[in-house]
Chains A and B, each alone.
Chain A
Amino acid sequence: MSIRVFVPRDTTALALGADAVANRLAREAAARGHSITLVRNGSRGLAWLEPLVEVETPIGRFAYGPVAPNDVTTLLASGLLEGSVAHPLALGLTEEIGYLARQQRLTFARIGITDPLSIEDYRAHTGFYGLEAALQREPQDIVEEVKASGLRGRGGAAFPTGIKWQTVLDTPADQKYIVCNADEGDSGTFADRLVMECDPYMLIEGMAIAGLAVKATQGYIYLRSEYPLAKEILDEAIARAEQAGYLGDNLCGSGRAFHLEVRLGAGAYICGEETSLLESLEGKRGLVRFKPPLPAIEGLFGRPTVVNNVLSLAAVPFILAEGAEAYATHGMGRSRGTLALQLAGNVKRGGLVELAFGTTLRTLMEEFGGGTLSGKPLRAVQVGGPLGAYLPESQWDLPLDYEAFAAESAVLGHGGVVMFDESVDMAEQARFSMEFCKVESCGKCTPCRIGSTRGVEVIDRIRANQNREANLALLHDLCETMVDGSLCAMGGMTPFPVQSALKHFPDDFQRAANGDRS
Chain B
Amino acid sequence: MNESREWSSQSIQAEINALKHKPGALLPILHALQDRFGFIPSDAVPLIAESLQQTRAEVHGVISFYHHFRTTPPGRHVVQICRAEACQAVGARQLEAHAKARLGIDYHQTTSDREITLEAVYCLGNCACGPSIRVDDSVRGRVTPEAFDALTDELQTRPLEVMG
Contact = CB atoms under 8 A, between A and B. Distances in A.
Interface in A30-68: 47-48, 50
A373 interface: yes
Interface string A240-273: 0000000000000000000000011111110000
Given A185-B122, A284-B62, A345 B90 contact: yes
B125 A193 contact: yes
A344 B128 contact: yes
A159 interface: no
A266 B69 contact: yes
Interface in B77-132: 84-90, 121-130, 132
Given A11-B139, A14-B138, A268-B67, A263 B28 contact: yes
A188 B31 CA distance: 26
A184 B124 CA distance: 10
A225 interface: yes
Contacts of A386: 84-85, 122
Contacts of B52: 283
Contact of B127 (A48, A227, A229, A345): A345
B127 to A, nearest CB: 4
A283 B128 contact: no
Given A266-B68, A346-B90, A436-B122, A190 B127 contact: yes
A308 interface: no
A263 B68 contact: no
A285 B62 contact: yes
A187 B86 contact: yes
A351 B138 CA distance: 20
B56 interface: no
A228 interface: yes
B23 A266 contact: no
Interface string A1-30: 000000000011011100000000000000
Contacts of A419: 89
Contact of B31 (A226, A266, A301, A350): A266
Contacts of A283: 24-27, 52, 62
B75 interface: no
A17 to B, nearest CB: 9
Contacts of A90: none
A189 interface: yes
**Overall SS of chain B's interface:** loop
Interface residues of A, number: 59
A429 interface: yes
B28 A14 contact: no
A225 B70 CA distance: 14
A327 B127 CA distance: 28
Contacts of B140: 15
Given A263-B24, A263-B27, A346-B90, A11 B67 contact: no
A280 B62 CA distance: 9
Contacts of B139: 11-12, 14-15, 229
Among B23, B65, B123: residue with most chain A CB under 10 A: B123
Given A12-B128, A12-B141, A14-B138, A187 B66 contact: no
Interface string B135-156: 0011111100000000000000
B164 interface: no
Contacts, number: 157
B159 interface: no
Interface in B22-62: 23-28, 30-31, 52, 61-62
Nearest to A269: B122
B76 interface: no
A305 interface: no
Contacts of B129: 12, 15-16, 47-48, 50, 350
A418 B86 contact: yes
A238 interface: no
A424 B86 CA distance: 12
Contacts of B65: 268, 285-286
A264 B86 CA distance: 24
B139 to A, nearest CB: 4
Contacts of B130: 344-345
Nearest to A285: B65
B128 A226 contact: no
A357 interface: no
B141 A16 contact: yes
A282 interface: yes
A48 B128 contact: yes
Given A283-B25, A382-B85, A187 B127 contact: yes
Interface string B1-28: 0000000000000000000000111111
A342 interface: yes
Given A15-B126, A226-B124, A283-B24, 4 more contacts: A15-B129, A188-B123, A229-B137, A266-B30
26 contacts: A12-B125, A187-B84, A187-B86, A187-B122, A188-B123, A189-B123, A189-B125, A190-B128, A263-B27, A263-B28, A264-B28, A264-B31, A266-B30, A266-B69, A268-B65, A280-B27, A283-B24, A283-B27, A285-B65, A286-B65, A301-B24, A344-B127, A345-B130, A429-B88, A436-B84, A439-B122
Q: 8 closest pairs, A vs B, by CB?
A: A350-B128, A283-B26, A187-B84, A345-B89, A266-B66, A267-B68, A344-B127, A47-B128
